[in-house]
Amino acid sequence: MTSQGTSDGVERFRTHAPENLQERFAHRAAHMKPSEIRSLFAVASRPEIVSLAGGMPNLTAIPMETMSEIVEKLVREHGMEALQYGSGQGHPRLREQICDVMALEGIRANPDDVLVTTGSQQALDLISRIFIDPGDVVLVEAPSYVGALGTFSQYEADVVHVQMDNDGLIPDALRDAIKTLRYQGRKIKFLYLIPNYQNPAGVLLPADRRTEILDICREEKIFIVEDNPYGLLGFDRPSPNAMRSQDSENVIYLGSFSKTIVPGFRIGWALVPQALREKLVIASESSILCPSNFSQMAISSYLANQPWRDQIASFCKLYKERRDAMLESLDAHFPKAATWTKPQGGFYVWVTLPPEIDTKAMMPRAIVAKVAYVPGTAFYADGFGSWSMRLSYCYPTPDRIRQGIAALGKVVEQEMERRGVPQIN
């Protein structure tokens, strides 16, 4: 704090920093450190950089005129409700509509079991809060969503990654992990996974693996947290039914309107087993009192009055075009020694380079070449992933994607040379 005037004789500014500050924090505060993505985003958001780093949806497909009419009418006709405090669990009408949305992925749910949250990030936070004691184990895919890893670590969970392949989480690897952890006497609280177009890997978990994983977790009494922000963004065919459609009592399902409508209203939800509902609602009230009535009613009106399924179809078209641009450019510009996933939906491609490459160390050279990505270690709690990177195709235009991948391909080739990695031809 800079020194301030005291013209009125009342203000007295102290300039000392708080003493013994570290001791005054809670133990968990030691885990509150800036993520690798965080410091990166400041650089990557400069206009001259092609950012393949962010996960921002592309809002060019949103009918802004219609949206402006929706919010205008909402305040004019229902302002006294929309601008007032609301229910802690969420607006009853929206909770019904959320059940209709989930029905598209085979889920039959009761609106009473839906909790509306400030984005599905808040649902991750609340689930952590009701389940995680320090030292408890949370199982996640390898790699997994950086935002989930951050939350689990703030609750002092021990995050254990379970191996994936191009078809997502490997059931046998899950069995082995559980057996090993149980042998060590560890408490496993839940398995967190993103079955559809995973963040960051872009892969899809097939129906048979879903069933097998459900069986394993039910048998082992481990809750499943099924995070599904991208499920409706399949490019060529619908994704398999949600895991929650097969099990209403062992699966906590997380949904979001951030990728299918807009993120700016911050509306996500959790569909929870009845036995967990009361605790989650109380945890949410203690966290934010209630989600925004305005935001909920705006989404509700959009769902009621707009052809939202057509809207999602136009999102899919837009993202598919960008996915194609990225995969074609990777083929054209990346060295043979690199491999990558071929997403059938969602936002992300996961690239694996030769293990000599350190994608974090390479970042400054990529920035010089005017392209940004997220280094693979961000998606691991254990330091793994140093020769991987996440590339997002959701936001830039296809031309910018091609330009960025071409530039990045050169950076990777130079890095391989620098590290003495032989080029495969």
Q: What gap in Å lies between CA 243 and CA 213, rounded to an integer?
A: 9
391 phi, psi to nearest 5 deg: -115, 130
Q: How far is the CB of 357 from a copy of itself (least distance, A)?
A: 29
Please count the other Cβ atoms lying within 10 Å of the Cβ belonging to residue 398: 17
Looking at the DSSP bridge assignments, the partners of residue 252 are 225
**CA dihedral of residues 150, 156, 162, 168 (deg, nearest 10):** -30
With CB under 8 A as the contact rule, which of the stretches 165-173, 257-265, 372-380, 396-404 interacts with a copy of itself? Answer: 257-265
Helices marked H in 108-190: 119-131, 146-154, 171-183
State the distance between the two ends of the chain, measured CA to CA, in whole angstroms: 59
Nearer residue to a copy of itself within complex by CB, 16 or 237: 16
Q: How far is the CB of 182 from a copy of itself (least distance, A)?
A: 14
Report if residue 265 touches a copy of itself, rule: CB under 8 A: yes
> In the numeric block, which tokens belong to residue 155?
């609750």
Q: How far is the CB of 54 from a copy of itself (least distance, A)?
A: 8
Nearer residue to a copy of itself within complex by CB, 89 or 97: 89
| Identified binder of a copy of itself from the candidate list 196, 239, 258, 392, rule CB under 8 A | 258
> In the numeric block, which tokens belong to residue 137?
């184990």
Report if residue 181 touches a copy of itself, rule: CB under 8 A: no
Q: How many residues does the chain have?
A: 425
CA distances from 6 to 2, 12, 402 (A): 13, 7, 58
Q: Do the beta carbons of residue 248 and residue 266 sit within 8 Å?
A: no
Report if residue 293 touches a copy of itself, rule: CB under 8 A: yes
With CB under 8 A as the contact rule, which of the stretches 65-73, 91-99, 166-174, 303-311 interacts with a copy of itself? Answer: 65-73
With CB under 8 A as the contact rule, which of the stretches 30-38, 164-172, 341-349, 358-366 interacts with a copy of itself? Answer: 30-38
Q: What gap in Å lies between CA 153 and CA 142, rounded to an integer?
A: 16
Compute how many residues bind a copy of itself; rule: CB under 8 A.
105
| Identified binder of a copy of itself from the candidate list 173, 246, 318, 337, rule CB under 8 A | 246
Report if residue 396 touches a copy of itself, rule: CB under 8 A: no
| Identified binder of a copy of itself from the candidate list 105, 113, 226, 415, rule CB under 8 A | 113
Report if residue 164 touches a copy of itself, rule: CB under 8 A: no
Report if residue 305 touches a copy of itself, rule: CB under 8 A: no
